[in-house]
Amino acid sequence: MSTQSPVVQEAANSKMSAGSLSMAWYGLVSAMFFIYIGASLAQAYGTKDTLIGLAITIVIYGAINRVLAGYALKHGLTVAQFSRTLLGRKGAVLATLIFAATAIYYAVFEGAILGYAFQAQFGGPIQLWYALVVLYTIPLIAGGIQRWLDKVNGWLLPVYWGGLITAVIWAGIAHPNGNAWLTHSTGQLPFASGGPGWLATCAAFMGVWILMMYTMDFAALGRAKDVKFHQRYTFGWLFYTLAFGVNSLIGIYLTFTVPGAEATETGVAGALVQLMGPLGLLVIFVSQTRINTANYALGISNLREFGERALRLRLPSLAWVGIGAVIIYLLMLLPVVKYLLLALSWQGALVTGWVAIALVHIWFEKRDGLRALDGSVPDAAFPAINRAGVAAWMVSATVGIALIQSGTAWGSNVGSLITPVLAAIIYAVMLRGSRHAPNVREAAVANS
């Protein structure tokens, strides 16, 4: 007898075409965060080092997500479902909680930027604009990713890129500044001070490895026959070249070209409104609507998954949308945005470990010719805790966070880099030395 939650059953009942899934996923390409973080890193480490770090980051992201997307497409597995294999049925609950919390955090961040842009253009209390941002987003994500996300993002995609290109041309004409944005340098930064800059850039983007989890949940909605298309065009290097590369270049250019522009959480948005007025606000509105439909949808769906598995709360989909919206609005009233970089570091320590464990597990399955356990396998077939996965995740995250909080300039970089390596090593060693995992697989297959 299956013990699947309604979230799992809904995902299994609907598969998206290649074009629809691609359009839905490409909503994430327009996050104002990507524009801001590129400018911020260039300001801190110099444009050259930032671009080198970005190139390395794009290669790494493309390679990892090619593997995760292919696995999710072939087996229809979401993060919550796959985590049952990696962590056990109770450990998987923790994965959904971290996923939900991170997606909600990004929804808060991106929504706050749009609220600030509205206030910059029209004035008024920021609380009012925050409420408006939350209220207009709710209908767009009601019914899940499959209902509106591909259409919304397809309609708004040309507006987003057209607006950014217009902003670059406008800034170049209004404030000609030569190639200062491209030659900005802070000099060589030694390791003890948090350098070199390209390594620090790579470490900063490891805080966004939550996109690996996003990839699995989106890819699980696709059809297995479209795996090659999605690996090449949807979840691969093309997406990250646009999301990280092009957006960062635009952010760097605008920050060093528009007078008074700052590489802060709201500075780039303010610069666009200052430069282009209502047209700049339109670009920000389109950008934040596209990315936040995904943040809301994934944050709320994983919040629901957590509530159903951990708290045994069986509520209608719209009730979970309402709960998620209230949480997001209340968090927007707090100074969450100010702690973005610290949050990224912590999220990196938590999420990168999960990704490393997932990659090692997929490799073991392929090497040993084992069948993946798909979402149709009931929860009861899995152990409460998979000791190898939980130990690898908790130990690596603890070490990573300890380094990040060490107070040293290099601690954040090393913490982000060592976490996935440590998680992969621990999981591989424990999995090879345990007969527990194969027994679980046989029991799960027998009960599926």
Return the CATH number at 98.
1.10.4160.10
What is the share, in percent, of the chain residues with pLDDT greater than 90?
48
Question: How much is the pLDDT for 290?
Answer: 83
- Does residue 390 belong to any structural domain of this protein? no
Question: How much is the pLDDT for 179?
Answer: 82
How much is the mean pLDDT over the chain?
Answer: 86
- Does residue 200 belong to any structural domain of this protein? yes
- Does residue 352 belong to any structural domain of this protein? no
Q: Which pTM value belongs to this model?
A: 0.86
pLDDT in tens, 17-65: 998 899 889 888 988 889 888 999 999 899 999 999 999 999 999 999 9
Mean pLDDT is highest, among 30-39, 230-239, 328-337, 428-437, for 230-239
Across 60-82, average pLDDT: 95
- Does residue 389 belong to any structural domain of this protein? no
145 has a pLDDT exceeding 90: no
- Does residue 379 belong to any structural domain of this protein? no
Residue 131's pLDDT band, with cuts at 50, 70 and 90, is very high
Question: How much is the pLDDT for 143?
Answer: 62
364 has a pLDDT exceeding 50: yes
Question: How much is the pLDDT for 267?
Answer: 75
Three-class HEC string of the chain: CCCCCHHHHHHHHCCECHHHHHHHHHHHHHCHHHHHHHHHHHHHHCHHHHHHHHHHHHHHHHHHHHHHHHHHHHHCCCHHHHHHHHHCHHHHHHHHHHHHHHHHHHHHHHHHHHHHHHHHHHCCCHHHHHHHHHHHHHHHHCCCHHHHHHHHHHHHHHHHHHHHHHHHHHHHHHCCCCCHHHHCCCCCCCHHHCCCHHHHHHHHHHCCCHHHHHHHHHHCCECHHHHHHHHHHHCCHHHHHHHHHHHHHHHHHHHHHCCCCCCCCCHHHHHHHHHHCHHHHHHHHHHHHHHHHHHHHHHHHHHHHHHHHHCCCCCCHHHHHHHHHHHHHHHHCCCHHHHHHHHHHHHHHHHHHHHHHHHHHHHHHHHHCCCCCCCCCCHHHCCCCCHHHHHHHHHHHHHHHHHHCCCCCCHHHHHHHHHHHHHHHHHHHHHHCCCHHHHHHHHHHHHC
Question: How much is the pLDDT for 356?
Answer: 97
- Does residue 208 belong to any structural domain of this protein? yes
Of 402 and 334, the one with more pLDDT: 402
434 has a pLDDT exceeding 70: no
Distance CA 340, CA 72 (A): 29
9 has a pLDDT exceeding 60: no
- Does residue 432 belong to any structural domain of this protein? no
266 has a pLDDT exceeding 80: no
Domain count, the chain: 1
- Does residue 394 belong to any structural domain of this protein? no
Across 399-406, average pLDDT: 89
Per the structure, the complete domain to which residue 257 belongs is given by 16-339
348 has a pLDDT exceeding 60: yes
> Of all helices (H) and strands (E), which one includes residue 93?
helix 89-122
Across 166-192, average pLDDT: 84
